[in-house]
Amino acid sequence: MSTLFMSPKGGNCTTVTASAFSLMSAIRGTNTLLIDLCGDVPAAIGIAEPHGPGINDWLHEDNIGDPQQMVLLGTPVIPGLVVVHRGARFVDGEPRWKALAQAISELPHDVIIDAGTTYVPEALTTAMGSVSMVVKPCYLSLRRASRLPRPSNVFVIKEDNRALTVKDVGNVLGVPIAAEIPYEAAISRAVDAGLLPARVEQLFGNCLSQR
């Protein structure tokens, strides 16, 4: 199933969550395509910064690339997972969002999109199987989240010593809690060392076990 990860504000661990979700999908035997609209995925999963065209180039209004050409822009990370990096910083002209939505429906992959705080039009969100919001249980995140279109579900980055709880997040947003992801130093260390793919099962296997 295709899933778009987004967040109401930066610093909510959206890229790490989307990357871990994609890695776990591939590890469990599903051909997975992770599309990086923000440009942070290579750093999160510890691969060299890609050069050459990426998803923003494919979205160029004058491009005629098909879904397979988009996949060929990607970098294999582990068996079953290909990452299509951001490429150009901006999309030239009117982005081909409808073409991307159509590609998602045609590809033999589970397509995961890391949108972060990037604007994503309804033409794309309606084509996704799920729109997942990543938040921390903090007032500012929930204040901004409440002003956005309602997601399908929410991934909560669970931090100790927060006044708000995971239950509060679900009550405010009025959507199911898809997962509670611990805010742990071990995850940060794995990302900093470029070892997330090697340690993702150990770090995320339990909290993403039902996904």
Q: Name beta bridge partners: 154.
A: 133, 177
Q: What is the pLDDT of residue 2?
A: 95
Q: Please name which of 8, 39, 32, 33 lies closest in space to residue 133, comparing C-alpha atoms.
A: 8
CA 93 from centre of chain: 24
Q: Please name which of 130, 112, 122, 133 lies closest in space to residue 36, comparing C-alpha atoms.
A: 112
Q: Give residue-wise pLDDT tens across range 15-29.
A: 999 999 999 999 999
Tell me the whole-structure pTM to 2 decimals.
0.95
Domains and CATH numbers, the chain: 3-204 (3.40.50.300)
Q: Give residue-wise pLDDT tens across range 26-82.
A: 999 999 999 999 999 999 999 999 999 999 999 999 999 999 999 999 999 999 999
CA 111 from centre of chain: 10
